[in-house]
Structure 1
C-alpha cells in the first residue's frame, strides 16, 4: 500500500479532528527528524504507510475492554503515540504508557503529545528498569527479536494480557524459537502495509513457562 492509499485508509476510519492530529504529528516528525534520527530517513516520504498505518492497524486488534496499554521502545512514537491519538476520541478510558530510554526521542514524543492534546504517559527509562505495569495490551515495533520482546513483556503481563508485535518476513523463524505453548497461542494476522509482514498476537499464555 502506498502512502496516499495508507493516508486515505486512515482518514476513512477516524474523525476529522483525529486526522488533523495525525497530520500535525507528521509535520512535527519532519521537523524534528532534521536533528534527531526518529525514523529511518529512507522511510520518511512513505511515513503514512511505513509508520502511521503500520501502527494504526494494531489498534483494532487489541481487546475492546483494555484499559492499560504499554508500548515498549516507542522511539519516535510508533506505534504507541499513534495508538494514543486514535484512542483519544474513541476509547478515552484507555491509558497509554510509552517506554523509551532515549531522552531526545522522549522530548519529541512529549512535544508531539502536547501539541496534539493527546494524554499519554512517557517513561524515559530502560525497559528493564520500569516497575511491573500489569498491562492489558503490550506492543513493540522494530525493537528486538520475538523471544527478547516476550522476555521484556513478561514482568508486565497478567494472565489475560494481549501482546501485539508487528513483524517482517522473518516471523516464521522467530516463532520457531518459542516454546510450544507460545507457538500454539500465537496468531499471525496479515499486515496491511507489506504482503510479507504480519502482526503477531498472543493472549492467554502462561507466563510462568519459558519461551
Structure 2
C-alpha cells in the first residue's frame, strides 16, 4: 500500500471529516517531530508513515465489530494504534504504557490533538486495575501467550482481541493455544500482504478448562 492508497483507504473506509483529517495530520507531525528525541517508530518507516502506521492501526477498528465499551491498548508506545483509534472513533480509549518518556509523549498528544476520549495508564499491564474491556489491542507488545496472560484480568468472554502479529501470526497462535482456549482466527493485513492480525474472543485458560 502506497501513501496515497493509505489516505484513500482511510477516506473511503471511515468517511474522514476535515476535522478528523486535521487531527490525524497533527498527530503525524508531532510523532515525526518527537522522533528527534526518542525512537518511537523504525526510522526506515518514516516515508511510509501513513501506510505502515496510521492505516495499519486503523484497520483494527472494523475487525473489532460493533463494540460498546472501552478500548484498551497495551504497550501503546507511540500511540499506535491507541491514538489512531481515539481519533477515528468516539469510544473511550485507555492506553497502557510503562516508559516515562512515552507516557509523557502520549499525554502531550492527547492534549495537542484534543482527545477527551483518550487516557493513559502509566505502568505495567499487570498493574492495571481489573476491568472489562470491550476491545483489547496490542501492536509489537509481547508474544501472544505472554500478552494474553498479562491482560486476562482486563477481559471477559465478550472482549474482542485484535492483535497485529506480522508474519509470525500463525506460529504465535499455535503457541498460545497450548495454554489458552477461545475463538481465534487470522485476518490478512490490508497494508501488507505478508502480515496478519489475530482476532480472538472468549479466551479462557486451557488449564482451568482441563481441571473443570
Q: What is aligned with 1:97?
A: 94
Q: How does 1:165-184 map to 2 (within 5 A)?
A: 165-179=163-177
> Corresponding residue for 1:193?
191
| 98 and 138 in structure 1: CA distance in 2 versus 1, 3 angstrom threshold | same
Structure 1 ranges of 4+ moved more than 6 A: none
Residues 110-125 of structure 1 mapped to structure 2, 5 A cutoff: 110-119=107-116, 120-125=118-123
Q: CA RMSD in A?
A: 1.7
Q: CA deviation at 1:126?
A: 1.2
Distance 1:20 1:184, change over 3 A: same
List gaps (5 residues or longer) in structure 2: none
User: Contact (CA 8 Å) 1:74, 1:80: kept in 2 or not?
Assistant: yes
Which range is displaced more, 1-10 or 176-185?
176-185
Q: What is the SS of the residue equivalent to 2:72?
A: strand
Contact 2:75 2:98 (8 Å CA) reproduced:
yes
Aligned residues: 205
Q: What does residue 74 of structure 1 align with?
A: 76
Q: How does 1:120-159 map to 2 (within 5 A)?
A: 120-159=118-157
* TM-score relative to the length of structure 2: 0.91
TM-score normalised over the length of structure 1: 0.91
> Aligned partners of 2:65, 2:98: CA distance in 1, in Å?
27
Q: Verify: 1:109 aligned to 2:106, yes or no.
A: yes
8 Å Cα contact 1:185-1:203 kept in structure 2: yes
